[in-house]
């Protein structure tokens, strides 16, 4: 992305203190980039524990992505320090486990602010600089949940579907300036990130109460997701390698299927008639015959 005489490109990674974000940070730290790694203030200590410390080319900043003032402050600090952002990797995100009947306004606002508004607002803030340079990369970490939905994860899919639609529009809008937009779509990754999934008050109560009409949905889906996360061959390091490969490609694709199951689901969507596709997926849900009892 630069000649030997040019300054190193500046890469901003959100949610970089754990999981996939930390794997991305570790890999980029070995490559010729200037890095701005962000995390919630209370999580900044994880960088040192992972062997990442501030240097002349690694800047660690606190960022609560849901706060618009903090988003603007981070971009201003990067512009002051290094002139702007060349590559934006929107990795920070949250997930909720709740059927549609168990949504509440707080969860809806929470996930839309973190998973949709924050990455798009950061893109808005860095785009003037990218357009001026007629170059730049925006990588939005989405999910298989952005191409297909799972029961009990409708809030998450609603957010990821929104991110994917906006990113696709952005792909068209900024190409005339040489700015590339990519969606990273991992499926199950071998990690314990599923333990960080949030619940609404009603969804937590239903998951704990075996007499609730939706209890089986939560019980069997939670066990299924945990099994898949433990058994998959995909790791944060493998997915981060796909992210880094994408940002270094001359003409990166809009959608990057980052795990084997993501490739499989994308293939099923292309090959099967839509009615058959949904029927097949429904029949493969864990112990679905016990649902609705």
Reported as type and span, the H/E element at residue 58 is strand 58-62
| Beta partners for residue 66, in sequence order | none
CB atoms under 10 Å from CB of 146, counted, come to 25
| Sequence-ordered list of residues with C-beta below 8 angstroms from that of 24, at least 6 positions apart, any chain | 13, 16, 89, 91, 240, 243, 244
Active site residues: 156
Q: For residue 179, how many C-alpha atoms fall within 13 Å in the half-sphere facing its CB? A: 28
Look at residues 114, 46, 104, 97 and name the one whose alpha carbon lies nearest to residue 226.
97
Percentages helix, strand, coil for the chain (3-state, rounded to 5) are 55, 15, 30
Contact 135, 175 (CB under 8 A): no
CB atoms under 10 Å from CB of 56, counted, come to 6
């Amino acid at each position: 992305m630069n000649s030997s005489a040019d300054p190193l490109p500046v890469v901003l990674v959100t949610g970089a203190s754990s999981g996939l974000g930390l794997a991305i940070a570790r890999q980029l730290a070995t490559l010729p980039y200037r890095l701005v790694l962000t995390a919630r203030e209370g999580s900044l200590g994880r960088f040192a524990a992972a062997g990442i410390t501030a240097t002349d080319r690694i800047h660690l900043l606190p960022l609560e992505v849901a706060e618009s003032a903090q988003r603007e402050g981070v971009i201003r600090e990067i512009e002051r320090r290094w002139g702007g952002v060349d590559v934006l990797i929107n990795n920070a995100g949250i997930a909720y486990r709740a059927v549609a009947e168990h949504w509440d306004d707080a969860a809806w606002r929470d996930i839309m602010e973190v998973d949709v508004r924050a990455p798009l607002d950061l893109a808005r803030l860095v785009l003037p600089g990218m357009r001026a340079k007629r170059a730049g990369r925006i990588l939005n970490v989405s999910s298989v949940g952005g191409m297909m939905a799972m029961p009990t994860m409708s809030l998450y899919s609603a957010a990821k579907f929104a991110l994917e639609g906006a990113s696709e529009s952005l792909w068209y809008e900024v190409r005339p300036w040489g700015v590339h937009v990519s969606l990273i779509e991992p499926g199950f990754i071998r990690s314990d990130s599923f333990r960080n999934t949030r619940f609404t008050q009603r969804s937590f109560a239903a998951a704990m109460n075996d007499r609730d009409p939706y209890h089986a949905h939560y019980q069997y889906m939670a066990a299924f997701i945990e099994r898949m996360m433990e058994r998959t061959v995909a790791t944060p390091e493998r997915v981060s390698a796909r992210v880094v490969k994408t940002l270094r490609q001359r003409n990166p694709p809009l959608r990057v299927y980052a795990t084997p199951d993501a490739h499989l689901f994308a293939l099923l969507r292309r090959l099967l008639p839509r009615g058959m596709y949904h029927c097949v997926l429904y029949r493969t849900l864990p112990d679905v015959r016990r649902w609705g009892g």
